[in-house]
Structure 1
Amino acid sequence: MEELKNKDKNGISTKRKIGKTTYEVVVHFNENATETMQDKLTRIMLRELRRKSDEKKMILIKKSLTSSNRVSR
C-alpha cells in the first residue's frame, strides 16, 4: 500500500498514539469556502440519515415481496 504524505504543515495538527503507532492528523480549511462547518456537518448527517432510511425501505420492500410470493404460491 502506498503511503501518501502531505508535506505542507500549515494546518492544525494533532498527534495520537495507538499501540506502537503514532498518528498525526493535519487539518486544513479552505479559506474560500462558502459553507460553514455546521452546514457541512448538517449536510453530511442528513445524507447519512437518508441513506439509512433508503436501506430500511429496501429491506421492507424485499420482505414484502418475499412474503407476497409465499402467499401467492
Structure 2
Amino acid sequence: PNKLGGVIALVMSIVILFIMPIVHMSKFQGMQFYPINQIMFRFYVTILGLLTGAGAMPVEAPYVIISQILTVIY
C-alpha cells in the first residue's frame, strides 16, 4: 500500500470539513424545526450506545442475541 496516498486522503478529509461550511448553500433551518429528525437522531444514538455496551459483554447466550437484534435495528 502507498502511504503517501493514505496521508493525502487523510489531509483531504480534514480539509473538506473546513471547506464545507464556506461553500454550503442549503436552506436547512436546524434540527429544532424537524421533530422527526430529532426522534431518529435520538434513536440512532440510543442504539449506538446499546451496541457499545453489548460489545463489552462476554460472548454468552443472551448477550449474543441482544447484539444481533441491535445490529439488525442499526
Higher helix share: 2
Name the TM-score, length of structure 1 as normaliser: 0.40
Q: What is the TM-score normalised by the length of structure 2?
A: 0.40
Greater relative CO (CA pairs within 8 A, separation 6+): 2
